Amino acid sequence: MLPAVALLKKQLSMISRFHSAFPLPVVLASAFLVAAHTTALSAPHAKPRAAAHKQKAAAPAEPAMTTDANGQSVPVLANKAWVLMDFNTGQLLASSNPDEPLPPASLTKMMTSYLVEQALKSGKVKPNDPVTMSLSAWCRGGKEGDSCMFVPLNAQASLMDMLRGVVIASGNDASKALAEHIGGSEPGFVAMMNTEAKKLGMSKTQFANSAGLPDPNNKASARDLAVLAAAIIRNSAEYYPIYAERQFSYNGIKQGNRNALLYTDPTVDGLKTGHTDEAGYCLTASAKRNGMRLISVIMNADSKQARADQTRVLFNWGYANFEEATPAQAGATLASAKVTYGVAPTVNAGLAQPWTLVLPKGQAAAVKTAITLNPAIEAPIAKGAVIGKIVATANGKQLGEAPVVALADVERAGFFERLRQRVVGWFSK
């Protein structure tokens, strides 16, 4: 490329030669173009702009909101059903079609893993028990889209490896093999699944197989699946960490947990994904932030990304809008109740179980309690017997109530002591 000055001289010379051939306006235009070109050449080179993908990412769009029947503003999610439940109380913070029975796909496997965990707790099975991969359970390489643990035909794996194959790898083969091992057959195990579902109060659920394969009789509601997730967290606590494991290797094959939130949100520690063409993309997840645990269920989302994004929306919305309060501590003396015909004239009263309320953010400080005791409490009284109730309110609105119980036994007094108390009672009226 010629230096700027040399190029300018050359272009001016050309203008001079053609001056007689072209009118003045053309000459002036040519001079203007030369000046502009020279300026561009002499200016310092601008730094290239950063690629668009390197620019600062825009903040994610706020989710669409609507108002529910209670006047509460809740997220709008593109799926067939969803719930957000508080773990401690079982209270639904928000939902859409929570009780509609839908195909749950591999969310079915939560009941399979739960029954295995309960069998481990009871001692019915042991962690190192060998479980055989039968022909009926064997996965033929996933050619038809099956999720597989890939245990070879007629080979054996430990029960704990099989459990991880269900929870992490979502293996249909592992689910069926465990069902046969514990139930004697898959139909026998399915009967156990349905019995347990009724026991847990899963009234809109009916299982037809152990893996969640398509079947018109295999249905569950979002609320029921949240209840099942809570049972796993509460009753299988020693095995629940498995649901947070990000990968599982067996027979030289490494598989990652399909719950995308385990990789992006440190507060999420479970539970299970599912997908079939009929069920769409499903996800049951749980998170714990500042001591408060929430459970979400997404059913029939459009994609893996959608089910993960919708779960994030629910968790962020729930933690931003609700908080837990403990109006009274279990075991603490809240009142002294008068007892007639007892060896002691009074008994301490309080809560037998922890009591938690879920409130809109900012209302916990406004909670007040009032205790009402039964008017006639007569010995004998057993520790734990209900003798009243405690009611919690905030800003004049009742939030909940809990039973108040006797915190100690009170034996019945002898005949003469009871007679004395009766006489005293006559004269005190």
CA distance 233 to 28: 84
Beta bridge partners of 285: 271, 296
Active site residue 428: no
Active site residue 109: yes
> Of 96, 147, 170, 296, which one is the catalytic site residue?
170
CA atoms within 13 A on the CB side of 386: 6
> Of 80, 109, 219, 272, which one is the catalytic site residue?
109
CA distances 250 to 219, 233, 372, 377, Å, are: 31, 25, 59, 63
Active site residue 236: no
Give the list of residues 6+ apart from residue 205 with CB closer than 8 angstroms, or none: 101, 194, 197, 219, 220, 221, 224, 225
**CB atoms near residue 422 (< 10 Å):** 11
> Of 106, 113, 147, 286, which one is the catalytic site residue?
106
> What residues act catalytically?
106, 109, 170
